A = this chain, B = another copy of it.
Amino acid sequence: MHADKAVVIGLNAAIVTVSDDQPKILVVPHEETDGASGWDALPFGPFNPVRHRTLEIGLRSWVQEQTQLELGYVEQLYTFGDRGRHSLETDAPGEHVVSVGYLALTRGYDETLKGAAWCDWYRYFPWEDWREGKPPIIDQAIVPLLREWAGRQSEAPPEELARGKRRDRMRLCFGVDDVAWDDEKALERYELLYSAGLLLEAARDGRPNARGLTGKHAPNLGRPMQFDHRRILATAMSRLRAKIKYRPVAFELMPPSFTLYELQKTVEALLGLHVHKQNFRRLVENAGLVERTGRMSTRTGGRPAEQFRFRREVLNERPAPGLKLAPSRSRANS
């Protein structure tokens, strides 16, 4: 009776760290399945309800076993009923997997991890890194392809309306016309590109692309991942970029002692944006998020910076704030 309802729960973790001013994600280079040979995967483990009382306990357990990494902050992202969206063929027949995505932060230890490796997350999302200005891939590839897609015949009857909606989606997601870039829309952008058939995952799942072509003619925007793993990663990015602004999660990625500029660099790496330096300091200090250690940084290159540490007490004072920052338009004061 329950046979067709029984499923296996898979836990996927987007484990994030920042080192050398780059946000990195732990990936398993390429998995057994041949259908997606060479495509990276997020670390994955099944949930065993007998052994682990909660999903998070189960997650921490196998991550610990497999990677020896100690996770700091852990947050549930989303539960998907269909792993690879429309292509369930890769599952074992008769077995249904529901996957629960998690975001986890860890301080970057560059240990060698058996089977897994740290990879710059912008390799999967080259359009998300605006620290050096607008990524050329947007104007060179993405926007033209999306325009084509938006102008295409739609399946649904209200022809003009559908086109207009597609155009609006593009404008809002990629900051065309005078719309501002919103770093938190990473997931929406991924989904838009997927809908438009511009990602290899979409081709894999049999969606027509912008030129109405399927399969190998799909454009290749960013590195693909197995199943819906790139989507999970996009969810993680969106969530983390949002969260950093109202909760002090950035400190989970910092060493015990750091300079304000190092903190800023970490935040910028995650947001993929530049931040106004003086205002960033003002914000961090006024919010009472840090306290001076007295020690100075011995780095070379200019006046030494003071080292700070995270003020854990903020968590008990006000409802601990985050780093509400705005991108700095000019690159002058970087």
Contacts and interface: CB of A to CB of B under 8 A. Distances in A.
Nearest to A164: B316
A46 B316 contact: no
26 contacts: A2-B8, A2-B95, A4-B50, A5-B46, A6-B7, A6-B8, A7-B7, A9-B81, A49-B96, A50-B96, A53-B82, A54-B80, A54-B81, A54-B82, A55-B80, A55-B81, A55-B98, A56-B81, A58-B81, A76-B78, A79-B79, A98-B98, A172-B319, A179-B319, A182-B319, A185-B319
A52 interface: yes
Interface string A80-116: 1110001000000001101010000000000000000
Given A53-B82, A172-B319, 16 more contacts: A2-B8, A4-B49, A5-B48, A5-B49, A7-B7, A7-B8, A9-B81, A47-B81, A49-B96, A54-B80, A54-B82, A58-B81, A98-B98, A165-B316, A168-B316, A185-B319
Interface residues of A, number: 42
Contacts of A49: 4-5, 7, 81, 96, 98
Interface in A253-308: none
Contacts of A80: 54-55
Interface in A152-205: 164-165, 168, 171-172, 179, 182, 185
A297 B10 CA distance: 53
Q: Which of A2, A49, A54, A79 has the most CB of B within 10 A?
A: A49
Contacts of A79: 55, 76, 79, 100
Interface of A: 2, 4-9, 46-50, 52-58, 76, 78-82, 86, 95-96, 98, 100, 164-165, 168, 171-172, 179, 182, 185, 315-316, 318-319
A5 B8 contact: yes
